Amino acid sequence: MIIVTGASGFIGSAVCRALESRGDRVLRIGRGADADLQWPAIGSGFAADAVALIGTARAVVHLAGATISERWTATHKRALRESRVNLTDALARAVGAAPRPPALISGSAVGIYGDRRDEWLTEASAPGTDFLGTLARDWEAATLPASQAGARVVLMRTGVVFGRGGGMLGKLKLPFSLGLGARLGSGRQWLSWIALEDAVQFVLRAIDDAAMSGAYNLCAPGPVTNAEFTDAFARVLHRRALVATPAFVLRAAFGEMADGVLLASQRVRPARLIETGFPFRFPDAAGALRHAVAA
Ligand SMILES: NC(=O)c1ccc[n+]([C@@H]2O[C@H](COP(=O)([O-])OP(=O)(O)OC[C@H]3O[C@@H](n4cnc5c(N)ncnc54)[C@H](OP(=O)(O)O)[C@@H]3O)[C@@H](O)[C@H]2O)c1
């Protein structure tokens, strides 16, 4: 049995489909009525019977978290932190309590590196010190109760996921289709991305391969600048992109999130995936975008 959190989400639903189609039984932890197991209240752990159930899983894939792509009000910042740090801690403690702990495959993001302009970033690069960098560092550290108890922990430092029906492309498809797509600010910021299919294959591999542990940059080997992305996505949709949305407009509309996400630059190399010969199905952005639009 494989446990999945965030199973109703963009990545989680694709992971559940892939697991079920290869014959794995999936148990979903979430907030909705369709979840098999509910999260505990923030600040408390899972009840004893839930801990026992979690301990029987082969692996736990943890993809839950409040969205980063909306205005970061004080309330939303609290939700971002609680849904990542507190829930990861509760899950890691349950995993760590098992006599034979399941593997924990836990979400993180390339946002851990902060805004780093043109610097190439690998798994060995230091985290950023901005809000997202600190949040992602604490999110990863919350898995420690599992690794300290002997569980195999894989951290997925995920780039922007290109796929159909959700994520960034889900939000941008309509404006780009209407010819309203535009680069953001200077457009020189780097976007590290991965195709949804490759992200799902990574999760399956991380569940099965007992040799995998620690942090992995989960992105394709060819990051693109925001300007390159904008042109490529407009071309795939047979539209032209507008020149640019100025940074001050983004800051007025989205506040701190504009600098933290839309204008931030992460030029990430998936060094560990390259080292181990991960078979990327979509190594280049234009191909991944074409597939996401056509799929
Ligand atoms: N998509 C990307 O491009 C991308 C890039 C980098 C990192 N990531 C990370 O990968 C993970 C999955 O991404 P996704 O795109 O699949 O996200 P998503 O579609 O927004 O789904 C996330 C899931 O998390 C749960 N959730 C939402 N708000 C929550 C809250 N306040 N408390 C507890 N659970 C909450 C929901 O599941 P239930 O309603 O079932 O509880 C939701 O379906 C996230 O942690 C995200 O930060 C995603």
- DSSP assignment of 200-258, as one string? HHHHHHHHH-TT--EEEEES-S--EEHHHHHHHHHHHTT-PPEEEE-HHHHHHHHTHHI
Centroid of ligand 1 to alpha carbon of 68 (angstroms): 9
Residue pLDDT, tens place only, 23-46: 999 999 999 999 999 999 999 999
Per-residue pLDDT tens for 224-274? 999 999 999 999 999 998 879 989 888 988 898 999 889 999 999 999 999
| Nearest CA among 118, 117, 137 for reference residue 126 | 137
Mean pLDDT across the chain, nearest whole number? 96
Given a contact cutoff of 8 angstroms between Cβ atoms, the answer to whether 212 and 205 are in contact is yes
Residue to mutate, 113, 161, 171, 191, ligand 1, most ligand atoms under 8 Å from C-beta: 161
| Cβ–Cβ < 8 Å for 32, 8 | yes
Pocket test for ligand 1, best of 27, 46, 67 (most atoms within 8 A of CB): 67
Whose alpha carbon is nearest atom 38 of ligand 1? 30
Prediction pTM value: 0.97
Distance 8 CA to ligand 1 centre (A): 8
- Residue 106: CB within 6 Å of ligand 1? no
Residue 61's nearest CA partner among 270, 218, 202 is 202
Q: In the chain, what are the domain boundaries?
A: 2-167+193-219
Q: 77 CA distance to ligand 1 centroid (A)?
A: 14
DSSP state of 126: P
57 lines ligand 1 (CB under 6 A): no
Does the Cβ of 153 fall within 6 Å of ligand 1?
A: no
For residue 165, pLDDT beyond 90 = no
Q: For residues 47 and 274, what is the distance between their CA atoms, to the nearest angstrom?
A: 41
- What pLDDT is stored for residue 186 in this prediction? 94
pLDDT value for 61: 98
Nearest CA to ligand 1 atom 17: 9
Q: Does ligand 1 have an atom closer than 6 angstroms to the CB of 127?
A: no
Domain 2-167+193-219, classified CATH 3.90.1150.10, yes or no: no
pLDDT-based confidence at 295, cuts 50/70/90? low
